[in-house]
Structure 1
Amino acid sequence: MTMLKPIAFLILIVCTNFVVTECRTIQPNDENLIQQICKKTPNYALCIQYLHSDPKAPSTDVRGLALIMVNVMKNKANIAINKIHQLIGKSPPDQKEALDNCADNYNAIAVADIPEATEALLKGNPKFAEDGANDAVVEARGCENGFKGKSPLTAENNAMRDASAITAAIVRNLL
């Protein structure tokens, strides 16, 4: 019985050591890259927030960080498209044209800009990725400016504009 205690203690030490050495933690260099890259963007805090929301960020390179941000853009576009479809059905007539314009803008982001940026990053042509991200900024602004008065999509347009501007700034590090 007394022999089991030292063996159990040894097993506990070995298992703890295994868990500690096998766990993936953010290494200082990984976090340093994210911080360095985000400092070069127009919104450091938001960049950090977006990149930290993806578990792959700490172990990737600049291209990987840019791809993570393109995915953020895709998510923001999908949120906006869903809201636009909800609003079109119940919007006042004076907003219908602006909402249709926003649907076109976000369709361009989802069907052209995001795939262009993704493909360009995967093929090693960052200039086209930057162009796709910058185009998404223009499309989101166009949606916002299409309303006469208060836009029901201000939050979504700002989110897309911010994510796209951060993406473009990260991609510029690859040029």
Structure 2
Amino acid sequence: MKALIILAILTILLTIEPTSADLGTIQSTCKRTPYYNLCVSTLQADPKSANADVTGLALIMVSVVKAKTTELVGIIRSLKGSRPDLRKALDQCDQAYSTGILVADVPVAEEALTKGNPKFAETGMNDAANEALGCEGDFKPAKSPFTDKNTALHDVSAIAAAITRLLL
């Protein structure tokens, strides 16, 4: 009976905490990306990363790109009514994020990774990173009202692109 309880506890712990081998996969993958600490913390925050291979880690990062882009589209659209002085730049960012990233880049990357063609995923995530830089540039000479979120989107997109590059 005691052995069964210990076995049950070990099973639960192994499904909750990444093993050192899983953590090793995350760390070795993230070492080959431009933002190691952000990569590790982002992947470790997702429970699916515990058992993921490199393709799985890339898919997790693509989902983070999607979530951050969706959040930014909401912010942009809420600002359109209250900041008419920024309307042109907000419209450009909205178009780039809603159509460029959410309709094109993310679905292409997801499909490419799922079907084993990571080159298209890398291209899509590099494009997403460039869209974030472009959105920020639309506000020059000033900064956008969401510079920190543009930077975060750029960084996770660059990480996703780097991870997919490992699959080539």
User: Residue 33 of structure 2 aligns to a residue in which SS?
Assistant: coil
**What pairs with 1:21-36 in structure 2 (closer than 5 Å)?**
21-23=10-12, 24=14, 25-36=17-28
CA distances 1:44-68 after superposition (whole Å, capped 9, x unpaired): 1100111011101010100000000
**What pairs with 1:12-51 in structure 2 (closer than 5 Å)?**
13-23=2-12, 24=14, 25-51=17-43
Tell me what 2:155 maps to: 162
In structure 2, list runs of 5 or more residues that go unmatched: none
In structure 1, list runs of 5 or more residues that go unmatched: 1-10
- Kindly report structure 1 stretches of 4+ aligned residues shifted beyond 2 Å: 13-16, 18-21
CA distances 1:92-116 after superposition (whole Å, capped 9, x unpaired): 32x1100000001101111100001
Report whether the alignment pairs 1:99 with 2:90.
Answer: yes
User: Residue 26 of structure 2 aligns to a residue in which SS?
Assistant: helix
TM-score, length-scaled by structure 1: 0.89
Tell me what 1:6 maps to: none
Cα-Cα RMSD: 1.1
**What pairs with 1:20-169 in structure 2 (closer than 5 Å)?**
20-23=9-12, 24=14, 25-93=17-85, 95-107=86-98, 108-148=100-140, 149-169=142-162
Matches of 1:133 and 1:36 in 2, distance apart? Answer: 20
Q: How many residues align?
A: 163
Q: Which amino acid aligns with 2:145?
A: P
Q: Which amino acid aligns with 1:69?
A: M
Matches of 2:165 and 2:21 in 1, distance apart? Answer: 21
Asked which structure has the greater CA Rg, the reply is 1
Q: Which amino acid aligns with 1:163?
A: V
User: Residue 56 of structure 2 aligns to a residue in which SS?
Assistant: helix
- Identical positions, percent: 48
Matches of 1:59 and 1:67 in 2, distance apart? Answer: 13
